[in-house]
Amino acid sequence: MNTPTKETRQFDVVIIGAALSGAATAILLLQELPSLKILIVDKSITLSRRVGEATVEISSYFLMRCLGLTKYLNENHLTKNGLRFWFNNEQCKSIEDCSEIGGKYLSRVPAYLVDRATLDEEVLRRAVEMGAKLWRPAQVQKVELRSGEQQVVTVKYQEQVEELRPRWVVDASGVAAFLARQNGWWRPNTAHPTAAVWSRWKNVKDFDDLEITRKYPKWAMQCHGVRGTATNHLFGDGWWAWWIPLKGGDVSIGITFDQRLMQFPEGGLIGDRLKFFLAQHPVARELMVDATWTEGDVHWRKNLPYSSTTFVGNGFAIVGDAAGFIDPFYSPGMDWISFTAFSSKELILAQLRGECIEKKVMMQNQTFVRSYERWFEGIYRDKYEYMAEFDLLRPAFLMDLGLYYMGVASQPFKRGAKALVEPVFSTAPSVPFYHFMRFYNRRFASIARVRRERNLLGRKNNHQRFLFGGYTFNPNTSRHIFTAIFLWIRLELTEGWRSWFQQRKTKPVAAASVEAVKPAIVN
């Protein structure tokens, strides 16, 4: 702890929030300018576990190559073996009966299953070790933004109210979104009304447990990798569940659902309701028979997605969840941290070098507002309509993942960290791919809606197994994308035609959506 004194009141940068996005931004700045005086302020005495507990390729690169955490991750967290999806219908009685999508072998590009509280504390420890000051528990009461001048930050710490005047303020306050809410930039994404319920569990059976593999020997032999350390996903109509083992034995299990398509059971303890709800899926029923939820570690959050209309100004930057959140499916949260933190670091350092940053501020605001909008529109809008359909999600997943690998994840590994200033769908070459992804996701959602009207949902969800070799950054692996396009065309010809000329009958809960969000340019 650092007691505030006249000597420590002078800071170049004040960061609101000590978790990953804030501590990582401090490290990035101090790596290039060790003389910077940085203060990190956090309201909590210790950092808590969070919903985001799996990295993907971009965030793995960021943690490993930008923050230098490779050895730490390998020693303290689990290596992730890709994504794995489980589907069911009334004909599925056991895990063996459920349709499955996933890797046949181990993954070849690094990713991790991480305990966020442990990871965040380690990144914070390193930031402090590099010279950042830390005040916690402390409360930021007010921030007065002054473009191109010193900002005014009022902080209450150790029963004293301090008025700090840094040149820069970084908002890493997470879902509290301090600056966005204070300045009227915060916008809910009402076109995607999702909610989540989650907890950590003990005594959960492992997918690769000897008892399970002996019980279903043929099923076990079909996968040559490790099922248990994938990010496993269980699907039902309008919802999906994540299944993430953590170092030490806990398992993070939760559901995310579209509130237009289903409602979470009411009455009783949330952990009990979650277990009861998941028991409808044969995979959960088999693996959670003796599972117990951790008291005090059960969470519920409604209306998950939101964004800020403004990301940076000449004196402030908003990073991580404070800048926006879309959906936990595909684990984009730490990618968002990577892009926002790295770009904000570049902007701050440019100003401190004496550069004129007005154009950079304008471009960064436009870039990130556009990235959020296209990320949502291209991948997530109405995806809950069809994600529980094995034969619809299979081609969508192959195209989603393949285009992510070829166009996004490969870039920092090939070009270096400078690629992190280009968030998803922010460059001209990515625009055709955005429109392509947006189109096929809309088509799969339309096919699923017709199935729902005809009472045909889930008919392909039993005894289907698609285990593939996975993607690498080698262009040869893009053949899976062409396989997916063929599957999509076949779906269109066999049943998709029923929806070609149909208007959507059900509309989102509210008329407002992310499309209405435009950047408020603040210099």
**Are 329 and 290 within one domain?**
no
For the chain, give the number of residues.
523
Reported confidence tier of residue 519, pLDDT bands at 50, 70, 90:
very low
Average pLDDT (243-262) is 95
The last residue of one of the domains, among 301, 318, 349, is: 301
Note whether 200 and 113 are within 8 A (CB): no
Question: Nearest-5° angle of CA 179, CA 180, CA 186?
Answer: 165
**Are 219 and 297 within one domain?**
yes
Note whether 273 and 76 are within 8 A (CB): no
**Is the pLDDT confidence value at 484 over 70?**
yes
**Are 146 and 246 within one domain?**
no
Average pLDDT (157-165) is 95
**Are 127 and 194 within one domain?**
no
**Is the pLDDT confidence value at 6 over 60?**
no
Average pLDDT (88-97) is 97
Reported confidence tier of residue 514, pLDDT bands at 50, 70, 90:
very low
**Are 327 and 263 within one domain?**
no
Task: Give me the CATH number covering residue 136.
Answer: 3.50.50.60
What's the first-to-final CA gap in the chain, in angstroms?
34
Residue-wise pLDDT tens digits, 380-389: 999 999 999 9
CA distances from 126 to 30, 121, 122, 134, 277 (A): 11, 9, 6, 12, 41
Q: Around 429, how many Cα atoms within 13 Å sit in the side-chain half-sphere?
A: 7
Cα 521 to Cα 370: distance, rounded to the nearest angstrom: 13
Q: 337: part of which helix (H) or strand (E)?
A: helix 333-352
Look up the domain containing 332 and give its range. 1-77+115-187+307-373
**Is the pLDDT confidence value at 269 over 70?**
yes
**Are 247 and 172 within one domain?**
no
The last residue of one of the domains, among 301, 325, 359, is: 301
Domain count of the fold of the chain: 2
**Are 167 and 18 within one domain?**
yes
Say which amino acid occupies 300.
W
Identify the pLDDT of residue 52: 62
**How many other C-beta atoms are found inside a 10 Å radius of the C-beta of residue 362?**
15
Among 85-89, 163-167, 262-266, whose mean pLDDT is lowest?
A: 262-266
More confident residue, 4 or 338: 338
CA distances from 332 to 71, 423, 467 (A): 23, 11, 23
Q: Around 398, how many Cα atoms within 13 Å sit in the side-chain half-sphere?
A: 22
Asked if residue 63 is part of any domain, the answer here is yes
**Are 139 and 240 within one domain?**
no
Q: Is 440 helix (H, G, I), strand (E, B) or coil?
A: helix
Asked if residue 461 is part of any domain, the answer here is no
Identify the bridge partners of residue 140 per DSSP, sorted by sequence position: 155
**Are 58 and 161 within one domain?**
yes
Note whether 513 and 450 are within 8 A (CB): no
Reported confidence tier of residue 518, pLDDT bands at 50, 70, 90:
very low
Rg (CA), the chain: 23
Reported confidence tier of residue 47, pLDDT bands at 50, 70, 90:
confident
* Nearby residues of 52 by Cβ (< 8 Å), 6 or more positions away: 116, 328, 331, 333, 334
* Per-residue DSSP letter, 220: H
Average pLDDT (421-425) is 96
Residue-wise pLDDT tens digits, 411-420: 999 999 999 9
Sheet holding 152-157, edge to edge: 138-144, 152-157, 160-164
**Are 260 and 148 within one domain?**
no
The last residue of one of the domains, among 301, 328, 359, is: 301
Residue-wise pLDDT tens digits, 193-240: 999 999 999 999 999 999 999 999 999 999 999 999 999 999 999 999
Asked if residue 385 is part of any domain, the answer here is no
Say which amino acid occupies 70.
T
Asked if residue 432 is part of any domain, the answer here is no
Average pLDDT of the residues of the chain: 93
Note whether 358 and 523 are within 8 A (CB): yes
**Are 229 and 335 within one domain?**
no
Asked if residue 384 is part of any domain, the answer here is no
Asked if residue 214 is part of any domain, the answer here is yes
The two structure tokens encoding residue 48: 């808590």
322 CB burial (10 A radius; 0-12, 13-18, 19+): buried
**Are 127 and 179 within one domain?**
yes
Asked if residue 499 is part of any domain, the answer here is no
Asked if residue 151 is part of any domain, the answer here is yes
Task: Give me the CATH number covering residue 85.
Answer: 3.30.9.100
